[in-house]
Structure 1
């Protein structure tokens, strides 16, 4: 009888302390909703393919050629400025992965294009490497069709 009373008392006490359903109140800045709506609108406007008439940059996997790496920030930006002065049409990108800065050039769709660039500039920049990474895809020419 003592055991039955203990189990019954334990069961009743568990029910008394059980969690009841409640409500969650979200406190947020009203600008968050407007930012989310703007982001959705921008994503709807982004094309799925590269369109020469659209100013939107579409990223895809491709290749870049690394022309410089080193731990000196000023030297990396100096090399970038020097390269941009000589070749203004080619895009340059500086990334930092501790402890080095990497200067990579170009947005090449194929490894063959990157290899041609590497062969052309090997005499000027002796330590060139090709890397596969996300690029800003250049516009396709209409002459391929």
Structure 2
């Protein structure tokens, strides 16, 4: 083969390759039409979704919803009697705030509140500082407080 024939062969193969790719990618774009999508699923899937988002029964506040938030830990110690004493002391001063006692060997921990923001927990810590010496803010699953009356802009 001569140089001219090789050059013609390369040019034709390049042009035919480009045309091939244009044809492959351009043809489906022009052949698309609007269609209808039909979803076929088991009816039990809807039941599972409804169960997932339904309120749980038996929550500490009775509403059954929970999310992540903050609690203030105000007592840690190995004496059960001291833990209940600290809980009673707290509830006498703040009867509207729920308290929780947990035991993880060897210590009892007493926590208070179901706060959505860290700022709310910090406000409680400032109020508790004179009564309790060891105060911590803990991030954990809380019982979501109910909104008593939704605000409306009338």
Give the TM-score category using the shorter length. Answer: 0.5 to 0.7
CA 142–94 in structure 1, closer or farther in 2 if over 3 Å, else same? same
Number of residue pairs matched? 99
1:81-96 mapped onto 2 (5 Å cutoff)? 81-96=88-103
Partner of 2:107: 100
Q: Distance in 1 between matches of 2:69 and 2:108?
A: 20
1:60 partnered with 2:71: no
Offset of residue 144 of structure 1: 7.9
In structure 2, the residue corresponding to 1:124 is in which secondary structure?
A: coil
Offset of residue 70 of structure 1: 0.1
Q: Distance in 1 between matches of 2:101 and 2:63?
A: 21
Are the counterparts in 1 of residues 55 and 64 from structure 2 also a CA contact under 8 Å?
Answer: no
Unaligned runs of 5+ in 2: 1-47, 57-61
Partner of 2:32: none
Q: Give the TM-score normalised by the residue count of structure 2.
A: 0.57
1:1-145 mapped onto 2 (5 Å cutoff)? 43=51, 46-47=54-55, 55-140=62-147, 142-143=150-151
Unaligned runs of 5+ in 1: 1-39, 49-54
Q: Give the TM-score normalised by the residue count of structure 1.
A: 0.60
State the Cα deviation string for residues 73-105 of structure 1 (Å, max 9, x = none). 111011112211221111000001110000000
The structure with more radius of gyration: 2
Q: Distance in 2 between matches of 1:100 and 1:114?
A: 22
CA RMSD of aligned residues (A): 2.5
Q: Distance in 2 between matches of 1:84 and 1:115?
A: 18
